[in-house]
């Protein structure tokens, strides 16, 4: 699909074969590698952190799209940048000083993203929309791959698209959770730019 960026999520890859997973992403039109970082507190499970990012960094030149599902993301940003992150998305729900963190990430020459969970409306981040490089709309509750997309979240993509047009904002709209061959058309119609896919991509179901 023209002008859309596919960002496959390593969460659904075989963790013993990450080099192979990166090859698969490159060979199947991946435009970025989505890396889900979970801390066992903001979300129940723990995935991987900076050492893993650092060790796979030399294996691809694709941008690393790091999705921080962690409390106190501001304490993690520097070390993820050092490890090789290109885009850093943190959760609005985990950060009081979102505006400051966006500016800090951008001052390091990286793209700054803000994610919202299904229960957070777009209006909650209205004051930072003009500053962000990416708004990530979660269409499942964060924490696990392979869940079913929550249809009511899709309208947030359309709302962000409309606001961007009306006000000249620059952010990319990213969607994460439950994207598969059946649900993808709804998010494309709503105006998404970046499509994150874990289970459907690594099962070979979803191609772009």
Q: Where on the chain is the footprint of Zn ion (CB under 5 A)?
A: 36, 67, 176
Catalytic residue among 39, 133, 176, 193: 176
Q: Which residue is nearest to ligand DX5 (CB)?
A: 198
Whichever of 143 and 191 has its CB closer to Zn ion, that residue is: 143
Segment 51-70, which members bind ligand DX5 (CB under 6 A)? 67
Give how far the C-alpha of residue 85 lies from the chain's centroid of Cα atoms, to the nearest Å.
12
Q: Is 91 in the site for ligand DX5 (CB under 6 A)?
A: no
Q: Which residue has the tokens 């999520």?
A: 9
Choose one: 46-54, 72-80, 135-143, 161-169; the region binding ligand DX5 (CB under 6 A). Answer: 135-143
Q: Is 143 in the site for ligand DX5 (CB under 6 A)?
A: yes
What is the rounded distance in angstroms from the CA atom of residue 97 to the CA atom of residue 29?
Answer: 35
Tell me if residue 176 is catalytic. Answer: yes
Whichever of 14 and 127 has its CB closer to ligand DX5, that residue is: 14
Contact indicator for 68, 92 with CB cutoff of 8 Å = no
What is the rounded distance in angstroms from the CA atom of residue 190 to the CA atom of residue 73?
Answer: 29
Count the neighbouring beta carbons within 10 Å of the beta carbon of residue 122.
18
Least Å distance, CB 139 to ligand DX5, is 8
| 71, two tokens | 């409390």
Alpha helices in the chain (DSSP H): 18-27, 50-56, 77-83, 98-107, 154-167, 184-190, 199-202
Among the listed residues 39, 65, 176, 193, the single contact to ligand DX5 using CB under 6 A: 176
Whichever of 117 and 128 has its CB closer to Zn ion, that residue is: 117
Tell me if residue 36 is catalytic. Answer: yes
3-state secondary structure of 128: helix
Whichever of 81 and 117 has its CB closer to Zn ion, that residue is: 117
Among the listed residues 63, 73, 113, 177, the single contact to ligand DX5 using CB under 6 A: 177
What is the rounded distance in angstroms from the CA atom of residue 144 to the CA atom of residue 87?
Answer: 21
Q: Is 113 in the site for ligand DX5 (CB under 6 A)?
A: no
What is the rounded distance in angstroms from the CA atom of residue 1 to the CA atom of residue 106?
Answer: 28
- Catalytic machinery residues: 36, 176
Residues at the site binding ligand DX5, with contacts judged by CB under 6 A: 9, 11-12, 34, 36, 67, 140, 142-147, 176-179, 196-200
């Amino acid at each position: 699909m023209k002008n859309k960026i596919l960002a496959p999520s390593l969460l659904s890859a075989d963790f013993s074969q990450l080099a192979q997973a990166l090859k698969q992403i490159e060979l199947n039109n991946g435009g970025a590698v989505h890396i889900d970082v979970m801390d066992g507190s903001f979300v129940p499970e723990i995935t991987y952190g900076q050492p893993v990012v650092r060790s796979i960094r030399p294996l691809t030149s694709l941008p690393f799209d790091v999705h921080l599902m962690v409390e106190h993301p501001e304490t993690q940003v520097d070390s993820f940048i050092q490890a090789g992150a290109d885009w850093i998305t943190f959760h609005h729900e985990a950060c009081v000083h979102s505006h400051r963190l966006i500016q800090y990430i951008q001052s390091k020459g990286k793209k700054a993203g803000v994610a919202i969970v299904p229960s957070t409306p777009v209006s909650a981040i209205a004051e930072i929309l003009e500053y962000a490089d990416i708004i990530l709309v979660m269409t499942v509750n964060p924490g696990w791959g392979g869940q079913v997309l929550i249809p009511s979240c899709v309208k947030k993509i359309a709302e962000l698209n409309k606001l961007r047009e009306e006000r000249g904002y620059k952010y990319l709209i990213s969607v994460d959770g439950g994207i598969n061959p059946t649900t993808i058309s709804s998010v494309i119609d709503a105006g998404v730019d970046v499509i994150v896919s874990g289970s459907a991509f690594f099962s070979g179901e979803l191609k772009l």
